[in-house]
Amino acid sequence: MGLFENKKGLILGIANDSSIASIIAHEVMKQGAVCGITHLPDKPGDEKKKNTMRVKKALRGVEDNVAFLAPLNVQDDDNIKAVMEQAEKEFGKLDFILHSVAFANLDDLKVPTVGCSREGFKMAMDVSAYSLIAVANAAQEIMNEDSAITCMTYYGGEKCVPGYNMMGVCKAALESITKYLAYDLGPKKIRVNALSAGPVKTLAGVAAGVRDMLQMYEGMAPLGRNITSEDIANTGAYLLSNMSSGVTGEILHLDCGYNIMGSPGRLAEKFAESK
């Protein structure tokens, strides 16, 4: 019997088959979960339905455990409500939600944070941070006791990571929201945590300059390597399952220990040897 046998959940934010949300979705469904999946709405006039097709491609191999696919614009409260109503109709109650949603206009992400526009700030914060509040609020009445909400963050919300820019500000807000929601939803026995993953080659990661970071992480991290898809699958499943039943309000770092380092560590030794 799988860890998620008879469990029902929502996965928000699969963009393609390399998305962190896709990796975690595959793991929980392979272990028995049945899930509703949301995706970016297709653009008007897009007869090929590119967003829908990308998500369907990402879910190959676990299609039988997908209860429904639905477009979701997290800036639209009516759309969020409709998705929750669909989930309630399909499942009755939810056992978990994975929130893997973030966005900033490239014009605001690619410039130093000081150059981010006011409208760009509002957009990025609304989608990347406030959406967790909106989703949790809409879902709270249809979640079982001992259920879990997990969102995705990154170390750039704790420390300045050049190039991460505006998204780092959004992640800082998201991590604070995680803690306050954990308190608010605690009496309903709903756990809220954040998974802070190291750099991986996702669509969002490439946009944030991940290629330049992988070598640095490998050199500095105590384990001397970058995280793998298996690491992501296992840790994401842990936070969404009853195995983490006593954990809430946490920012769990999945980065092979990179975040504990106060100096370049062995990377400095390699640099000294090369001189």
d(CA 83, CA 138): 9
CA 91 vs CA 58, 66, 82, 83: distances in Å: 23, 12, 14, 12
- Identify whether the C-beta of residue 73 lies closer than 8 Å to the C-beta of residue 79: yes
105 - beta bridge partners?
none
Question: Which residues are tagged catalytic?
Answer: 154, 164
Distance CA(188)–CA(85), nearest Å, equals 19
Q: Which amino acid is at 218?
A: E
Q: Return the beta strands (E) in the chain as ranges.
A: 8-12, 34-39, 66-71, 94-99, 143-153, 190-197, 251-254
Q: How far apart are CA 117 and CA 112, in angstroms?
A: 11
Instruction: Spell 136-146 as b/e; 16+ CB within 10 A means b.
Output: bbbbbebbbee
Dihedral class, residue 233 (left if φ above 0, else alpha if ψ from -120 to 50, else beta)? alpha
Selection from 146, 145, 142, 168 nearest residue 157 by Cα = 168
